[in-house]
Chain A
Amino acid sequence: MQLNKKVLVFLISSTIFLAGCWDRVDIEERGFIVGTAIDLVNQEKENEYEVMMTNQFVIPSGIGTLMQGGGGQAFMNVSEKGTSVFRTNRKFSRINSQEPFYQHLKVLVVSEEVLIQPHLFSNMMDFFIRDHALRRSIRLLVAHEDAKEILNSTPENTDVPAMYLDDLMENVDRNTNTIKPIHIGEIQELILNQQSYVLPVVRKVGSMAEYGNVVVMDGESNQMVGSLNEDETSGLGFINGHTEGGVLEVQVDESPLAVEITKINQKMKITNTQKNNVEVEISILIDGNIAEYFGVESVLDEKFLEKAEASTEKKVKELTAKTIKKVQQELNTDVLGVSKNLYQFHYDFWQEVKEDWENGENYFSSADIKINSEVKIDRVGSADRIKMKEE
């Protein structure tokens, strides 16, 4: 009995040596993928597409170490073609000795061509959501042209384009047409809810990339139905809070004035729930500072501030009106969040109309959306005026 116990202990402890180490890959043998681009090559059959995946691998020695700066290129882009994302990814191992490692994947750039095909986008997303090694915080971008070109944008102050794109998306509170970055986790949610949504756009400008504006995705077919320009994106940002801040240029007594937005709050209220006459009231509360003023009035004057606030309110209404017109008349997709509000606060009514909200009877297009904007200017800057009135 005593002997048996010893043997047992020996056997159990020897399992440590028998098993283990099975996932061990040292850090220098990993090929860190930081960015992936998906482009459409061609449509083979109905519902079968050949796509091109471009993975951006980091070259650590190019980035440099804690001790010394790097030299040479810090990244390499490798492309492969295939129909399934997973298999295509596996193909990378045929040309790259390092094991592809997705846990540091930062950005996914999808070309517009992929988005236009019905359901292709959600099929492509399946791998990125399903695979255990991938994080839900991967940020998604849309390129109007070739997505893989975006992964070549290298301003001189950065080493790795994907990291640069990732950092670029942090600057969302500077401009009204840059929306908060959207990540894979949210996309799964949106696809499952069959909700229409917008995706941020990136475009290549010289060696740099420019972040701004959105494309509109239809919830049901999961395909892109159109894109919004700068003004329309700004308006959308005010309506559903995608934007965190930015600058509005307005005219006060024919002198240009730039208002820096510090805070945006919005509230949506559905005042009438009749199928053909849904009334929506959106109040937008904006706090701002005077950032730049070309005129000669005293900005400390109460009346001037009232005028400035009124013209900013008007500007907000203009921008949002453009957006509403576009999504209601042209695109027929509810990216404003009205359906979400109905679902949350008028569930019974939503059950009645949900089939005909964006399609069929198209109640969304006939909805009456009113915007109330209220702007408050808190600060006027460090100086009252720079030039005197001309007598």
Chain B
Amino acid sequence: MGRNFFRRRKLKQESAEGEDFSTEIGVDLEKNLQDLQTMIGSPEDLVIHRLNLGFNVKAAVAFISGLSNKEAIHNDLIKNLLRNREKEAGSDTPDELIKQLKLDLISIGSVEQTNSLDKLTIDLLSGKSVVYVEGTAEALLMGTEKWETRSIDEPISESLIRGPREGFVENLQTNMMLIRRHIRDPNLRFDTSEVGRRSKKKLVVCYVDGIVNPDMVKEVDRRLSSIDMDSAMESGYIEQWIEDSYLSPFPQMDNTERPDKVASAVLQGKVSILLDGSPFALIAPITIANAFKSPEDYYDRWLIGTFLRVIRYIGAFITMFLPALYIALVSYHQGMIPSQLAFSIAATREGVPFPAFVEALIMGLTMELLREAGARLPRTIGQTIGIVGGLVIGEAAVSAGIVSPIMVIVVALTAVASFTIPLYSVAISFRLLRFGFMFAAAVLGLYGIVLVYIMINIHIVNLKSMGVPYSTPFAPSFIKDWKDLVLRGPIPMMNERPRNLKPKDTTSGNLRR
């Protein structure tokens, strides 16, 4: 099913966009300017500055005011054009003149020459300024992009106790800079392409040539080239378009706001995808083990890192199984609860009108509601929601006899455990799967839990991320990768890149030197 879906997408890709005006620039300046205005609908922020280059050679500079660096346009472009009009503009033809302008006069870093109206429009809309010269079918594009951006902040969704405080911003250039500052390798590649029929957003595939498996890059490129949509608002659009299975509850790509995380991923032989306008970089491929890894594991000493990881694995199991186990034990297998606890659970449940499953469902849904409400509200009110939900609803529900106190403990423990998983998207899928486990436990008890667990394992074993099995390095096993799995080995011992990625260069250091 998934494969057909992709094929259908691909067929649609090459379809012409109907338009009335010529896609080439003409020799008539006024006609060109008019074409441009027609093309983008003469908006208010389009600035056209007509000027005279001397000897009656007319020219015009056009730019979008909010996207361009006005200071640079005035100082380095318009001033230069006007100052030199007496000197330079001799008997040259307009074609030679524009070449001259490009080479000698304009003191802006990036200057391009084009005769395509399409390219010109898109570049104009991404902040470049255009210089038209009367009599030539060529125009110059100046890299004068500058717009208001957010400053580099600590990533909110992935704050660490120890580690760099920089996070990605919405500006692609800044994000690339942040990665470059971690890796000063000439082999660090940023392959740029455009995405979105209408948005024409810049998309960058980042990897380290010589480490990454070339097939991986090819596969990523192939998938990216199949993208056909109006716009990618966020890197999540890209992720969902190119992921291996859209039916899976598990994300097949990591997303991060942390440049250090991207840098370490590309150094391991992974590929990262950055999208202009999104502070979230994608990392592919990932495995299930990535859900339990946090950059902090590596920043603290290995014993602490290992401990934290083990805690997270325990947390994941609690998230998925605890409410289901409660249901199974309370509704079916009372003999498995220690006697004293069984009696005390029975005592607390006396008077509760619902079976354990409904009780667990009520509390589980309440918890999800509170979490969602807390996430949507502004931070200051969000905290109030936590207090209101946690204390008032929990306490009141118990005193009202709707749920038993044990259930409150179970739900609270589940919620806390689910927040230990560093990869937020995986944490959500775990919480979602929890309801499946609860349902299975309600119907078939422990047997049902085992069945669902087997089903999920089968799915994980089948799942792939960019062609890499999701269950590596557990199975297929790469024993050498296990020193950075549940355990996190001492840094000097981790001198090899993950084998499961089949990197071109396998060693990242030499312990024996």
Contacts and interface: CB of A to CB of B under 8 A. Distances in A.
B350 A21 contact: no
Given A16-B443, A25-B331, A67-B348, 10 more contacts: A20-B443, A20-B448, A21-B442, A26-B330, A27-B345, A30-B346, A32-B339, A61-B347, A61-B350, A104-B334
A58 interface: yes
A101 B334 contact: yes
Interface string A360-379: 00000000000000000000
Given A60-B347, A64-B347, A24 B334 contact: no
A28 B448 CA distance: 22
A67 B350 CA distance: 13
Contacts of A23: 332, 445
Interface of A: 16, 20-21, 23-28, 30, 32, 34, 58, 60-61, 63-67, 70, 101, 103-104, 106, 133, 135, 163
A104 B348 contact: no
Of A30, A34, A106, chain B has the most CB atoms within 10 Å of the CB of A30
Given A106-B339, A163-B339, A63 B442 contact: no
B344 A66 contact: yes
B335 interface: yes
Contacts of B344: 60, 63-66
Contact of A104 (B331, B335, B349, B442): B335
Nearest to A61: B347
Given A26-B356, A101-B334, A66 B339 contact: no
A162 to B, nearest CB: 10
For the complex of A and B, the 7 pairs showing the least CB-CB separation, nearest first, are A103-B335, A60-B347, A20-B443, A60-B346, A28-B349, A65-B347, A60-B343
Contacts of A34: 339
Given A65-B405, A66-B406, A103-B335, A27 B346 contact: yes
Contacts of B448: 20
Contacts of A135: 335
Interface residues of B, number: 27
Contacts of A133: 335
B342 A32 contact: yes
Contacts, number: 81
A99 B13 CA distance: 67
B444 interface: yes
Contacts of B342: 27, 32, 104
A159 B337 CA distance: 19
12 contacts: A23-B445, A25-B331, A26-B356, A30-B346, A32-B343, A60-B347, A63-B343, A65-B405, A70-B347, A104-B335, A106-B339, A163-B339
A30 B445 CA distance: 16
B352 A28 contact: yes
A58 B347 CA distance: 10
Interface string B339-365: 110111111111010011000000000
B443 A27 contact: no
A76 to B, nearest CB: 14
A32 B348 CA distance: 15
A82 to B, nearest CB: 25
Nearest to B328: A24
Contacts of A67: 348, 405
Contacts of A65: 344, 347-348, 405
A133 B442 CA distance: 21
A60 B349 CA distance: 10
